Amino acid sequence: MTKPQVVQAPVSHTSATVELDTPLKRGETEVTELTLRKPSAGELRGVSLAEVLQMQTDALITLIPRISNPSLAAAEVRQMDPADLVQCGGEIAGFLLTKRAKGEAD
């Protein structure tokens, strides 16, 4: 008897959902997760790619409001739990790597 094949859905390389360890408060509501999308070249203006890849705090504070849904203000990013900021930074750094660097086939 043959085993059924499991087909995995392709992994999205254009967005990532980050579940926040510490929700952000917005008045009466809480933001518990963010969807980050792969930035375009224009959204990277004014930030050093090296600093983004090194997950420098100032670079992430500038970039996250440009690519997050719900859209966060820079002041909200400054209030994030450091663990959540690192998690977002890791996802963003992953967006900037080439397929070859990620070990993926074309």
DSSP characters over the chain? -PPPPPPPPPPPSSEEEEEEEEEEEETTEEEEEEEEEPPPTGGGTTS-HHHHHTT-HHHHHHHHHHHEESPPPHHHHHTS-HHHHHHHHHHHHHHHS-HHHHT---
Q: What is the spatial distance between Cα 63 and Cα 65, in angstroms, rounded to a whole number?
A: 6
Confidence band for 71, pLDDT divided at 50, 70 and 90:
very high
Q: pLDDT, tens digit, for every residue of 4-13?
A: 554 444 445 7
- Specify the length of the chain in residues: 106
Compute the average pLDDT of residues 18-46: 95
Q: Is this model's pTM higher than 0.85 or not? A: no
Compute the average pLDDT of residues 70-84: 96
